[in-house]
Amino acid sequence: MNSSIKNYEAEGGIEGYHFGKPGSSDQKIAKTSSSTDLITGITTELDAVNGEPVDLVHDGVHQLKLGGTVTRGQKLTSDANGRGIAAVPANDTNISVGAVALASGVDGDIIPVIITIGQVQGEPA
């Protein structure tokens, strides 16, 4: 199961099972809003409004809400709403990766993922 869950203060609203990124201070976390945001984990099942406590899972197997169609085994990045989408960088572009899908799914599904923080780069133009 999860070996690294940390509590933060929500900066803005953040829903459960969404990607999180660093907030304006070390103790704050915000919802990701693009594939280039620095993904640091996935929220637990509870939603949080601005200023409320929110837990972020930093590694292990967890659940993630999807923002599009993904196939198991694909690397996932964030859409504009902090949900997981297939990580397909444009040529010469770096994007953040936050997980690998353990199941296939479509927009709105919550699937199991392996949290895998990093970046991928598109092919040279």
User: What pLDDT is recorded for position 105?
Assistant: 98
For the chain, domain boundaries: 5-59, 61-121
* pTM score of the predicted model: 0.94
66: pLDDT strictly greater than 90: yes
Separation CA 116–CA 125 (nearest Å)? 27
First-last CA distance in the chain: 40
Closest CA to 117 of 38, 47, 48: 38
Question: Tell me: the pLDDT tens digits for 80-103?
Answer: 999 999 999 999 899 999 999 999
What SS3 state is found at 95? strand
